[in-house]
């Protein structure tokens, strides 16, 4: 399963790289083909992969769910506060995004803890404040391990889980996932790479302009 997820991520990344100069971002992920009957004739339509419905609590004990995110683009990532490896770099890069878009009403950042046994809501609040995140639209999300791991694997197609052999006891992807206002994946970026986050900033502008044009 892990290998297949990595292959999907690699394919998505290649797809993303091939459209950097285009003005419209692609919709990424597997499409589901459905059969319809119109005027007695069979026809087929393809439905893009979308993020499943979810409901988590943020560092302020507010519910963050699909209704909360209606009309917004967002970046999703996975982390844990005691992470000794890639998380500090990822959060440094997300701070760049937050600083630029913290007053953007059509945007949010969702950082999901994969260690809810340790990362309680008060700890997530303290962690966010130590990062300098007060107010704004960056949400550090708390849920059960089952909920977090499920949405990571099935919706965002990322690896996240316990691993006693890994530093800190957990493994997770370093990817930032860009999602549009229709719950579709529009970009995947290496959150530890400055150049990739530079691309994310450019493509986020494209996506926000697209969303504004629909509203």
In the chain, the domains with their CATH numbers are 50-214 (3.40.30.10)
Tokens describing residue 13: 């990344």
- CA-to-CA distance for 23 and 90, rounded, in angstroms? 26
- pTM of the predicted structure, to 2 decimals: 0.84
| The predicted structure's pLDDT at residue 35 | 67
Averages of pLDDT over each 10 residues, the chain, 215 residues? 41 44 82 71 79 97 96 97 94 97 96 96 97 92 95 90 76 93 97 97 97 86
């Amino acid at each position: 399963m892990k290998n297949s997820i990595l292959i999907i991520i690699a394919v998505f990344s290649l797809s993303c790289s091939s459209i950097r100069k285009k003005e419209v971002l692609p919709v990424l992920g597997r499409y589901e083909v459905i059969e319809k009957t119109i005027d007695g004739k069979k026809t087929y339509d393809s439905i893009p992969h979308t993020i499943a419905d979810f409901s988590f609590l943020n560092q302020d004990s507010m519910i963050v769910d699909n209704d909360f995110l209606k009309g917004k683009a967002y970046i999703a990532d996975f982390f844990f506060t005691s992470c000794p490896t890639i998380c500090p770099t990822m959060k440094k890069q997300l701070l760049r995004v937050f600083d630029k878009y913290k007053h953007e009403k059509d945007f949010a950042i969702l950082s999901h803890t994969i260690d809810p046994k340790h990362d309680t809501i008060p700890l997530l609040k303290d962690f966010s404040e130590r990062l300098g995140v007060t107010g704004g639209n960056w949400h550090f999300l708390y849920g059960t391990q089952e909920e977090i791991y499920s949405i990571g694997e099935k919706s965002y197609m990322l690896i996240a889980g316990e691993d006693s052999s890994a530093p800190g006891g957990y493994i997770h992807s370093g990817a930032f996932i860009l999602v549009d206002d229709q719950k579709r994946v529009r970009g995947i970026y290496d959150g530890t790479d400055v150049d990739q986050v530079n691309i994310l900033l450019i493509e986020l502008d494209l996506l926000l302009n697209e969303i504004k044009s629909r509203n």
